[in-house]
Amino acid sequence: MKAKGKGIKRRLVADKDTLRETPTRSKSELAKCLRPKERRNKESCKAAAERTKQSWSSKDRHVRRLESNERERQRMHKLNNAFQALREVIPHVRAENKLSKIETLTLAKNYIKSLTATILGMSNGHLQDIEVSGSGSRSKLYEHYQQQRGEEEHEGQLEKYSTQIHNFRQGS
């Protein structure tokens, strides 16, 4: 796919002067209003939320928003780190072309499936006879594989994965 040189861009993080003054209200107040167990009528909830809102100075709201934004950024960074870690364990060829998120997930799924198929193939069908001692249950791997086969019976996983790798080689 594409190599992305996302260097400079990105809106300046929390530009305090330009942060929008959006109408905010107490999240917890609103949440209480909408939860099924809470049988409060909407009007009283609105009023309560409004009171909370008014009790916050605009500076308070601003600070809370900035803190919330920061937490969300950190959360997304952690998510992206996890994506990167996943990219690094999936064999693919064009290392200079970073996989997109959707490509990473799709490739990982097919890679796992192909590995599972390979393991089962190497075991030559013996896995299904393996009993976990004492439990009498069959191999979890085998059970899982059977379950997956039920959903996608005729797909050659290894072939599918190879095709996908090939497509990346082509720079699709």
Q: How far is the CB of 55 from DNA (least distance, A)?
A: 10
The CA-atom distances, in angstroms, between 168 and each of 59, 92, 96, 159, 164 are: 50, 8, 11, 14, 6
**C-beta closer to DNA: residue 86 or 158:** 86
Nearer to DNA, 147 or 170 (CB): 170
Quickly count helices (H) and strands (E) in the chain.
6, 0
Q: How far is the CB of 24 from DNA (least distance, A)?
A: 5
Give least dist CB 124 to DNA, A. 39
Catalog residues that contact DNA under the rule CB under 7 A: 1-11, 13-15, 19-20, 22-31, 34-35, 52, 65, 67-73, 75-77, 80, 100-103
- Residue 92 gets the label, from left (phi > 0), alpha (psi -120 to 50) or beta, of beta
| Residue with Cβ nearer DNA (14 or 90) | 14
For the chain, the straight-line distance linking the first and the last C-alpha, in angstroms and rounded, comes to 6
Nearer to DNA, 53 or 160 (CB): 53
| Residue 114 contacts residue 121 (beta carbons within 8 Å) | no
